[in-house]
A and B are shown apart, each in its own frame.
Chain A
């Protein structure tokens, strides 16, 4: 029986089966009392899927279903599209396998959606306080989003199903930034994006080695595609060209370092970047010493990101650094 549900939670998952399990545990603790379901789209082998998904209490309740795609064929856009198309809810909430929603998350997200019928809802995302020690690492990946932000990251978004159908879902040609693109297309259709600051998702804080974070962030080179398709996204960028202020100042510093061979004074261009970097761990001599020790690695990382975006810019014939 294809019984409709109030809201479906769609989760794409890749290479994070344990964190996916923890997400399902957090979903199991939701206070939402309506009819809801979880749809996971993953690329795990059958044994892992059986262990992590089929034997989860949500699956045994009939609330969790999952779809497997062949390893290497998934992408966030494709997996989310498969997920929401398989979902039964009139509302579709998206979150990620590296997130831990608070127990009231779904209740509050759906509450906001019901107060603004037809609107898109963005909840709040914060670095997981349970993982705060990891912030001591030089290279971390996490997210902090206070709604409504300029980007509509699907770690904490809700769309009416009818809108997803009208938009034909996520753009599967986008390797990254597909969630931002969907939000921009919803706005272009005149849909309001409402904030639900009390619908909180805690985002994992993952530390990486320098080569690891450079590899991880290479995917952002495809954001040039987003800028090409949706030039309006440039309004949220630094000088409409740089992804963020770090990229701007790292680029200026690199230009200064390169030009210093001919004229030493040009090296002064690196000063803003150095001052900015020395403050990233907060005030005080100890924090500055840590920031100074981390500065070379940060510079390598940011310049690698800029180089990746430059390569993407050439490919998609639009400038984004």
Chain B
């Protein structure tokens, strides 16, 4: 394992839009000797369409799938890339899982902060209840600070070393 210490078991929870970001991080972490699982958390098309029609935010149906997939594995860290993915990871943490990290892959904008039902609630939970929040780039960091009042570090998706340091720090603090 690069940098010493035992190999970490990391679950990445992306959606289709953030899969490339998760893929780059998975490759970097594997290259550093860690065990990475990209968790599939599919949305159910018909219920999803119904929820959207009733004004709900996107991808809510993936939450139980993400939690179930995480529960089936043996992970130190669940790293999600969307607010619904974080909700699944928070459920997993509640029932004995490990640390939860949120990379806010979207650049937040006022128009999307509360545009649908449960959007603000899922976003707030992702930012305020995750063990750590990370920005993938400077634009995302600036937006997180402006809209969610959170000063998140910028960690590039290819930077395995910085991610592993963050994971180990979270695990050390239990």
Contact = CB atoms under 8 A, between A and B. Distances in A.
A285 to B, nearest CB: 15
Taking residues whose C-beta sits less than 8 angstroms from the other chain, chain B's interface range is: 10 to 19
Nearest to A208: B117
A134 interface: yes
B149 A21 contact: yes
A133 B124 CA distance: 19
Interface string A227-247: 000000000000000000000
Interface string B51-74: 001110000000000000000000
A18 B54 CA distance: 24
Interface in B126-155: 146-151
Interface in A167-208: 204, 207
Given A18-B120, A136-B55, A207-B55, A130 B114 contact: yes
Given A22-B113, A130-B111, A130-B115, A136 B53 contact: yes
A25 B110 contact: yes
Nearest to A17: B149
Contacts of A21: 147-149
A40 to B, nearest CB: 13
B165 interface: no
Interface in A40-56: 51-52, 55-56
Contacts of B148: 18, 21
Contacts of B120: 18-19
Contact of B115 (A22, A133, A137): A133
Nearest to B53: A136
A137 B54 contact: yes
Nearest to A18: B124
Residue of B117, B120, B147, B150 ringed by the most chain A CB atoms within 10 A: B117
A25 B147 contact: yes
A133 B55 CA distance: 5
B110 A130 contact: yes
Nearest to B114: A131
Contacts of B146: 25
A21 B110 CA distance: 11
A245 to B, nearest CB: 25
B55 A134 contact: yes
Contacts of A133: 55, 115-117
Contacts of B149: 17-18, 21, 51-52, 55-56
Interface of A: 17-19, 21-22, 25, 51-52, 55-56, 100, 130-131, 133-137, 204, 207
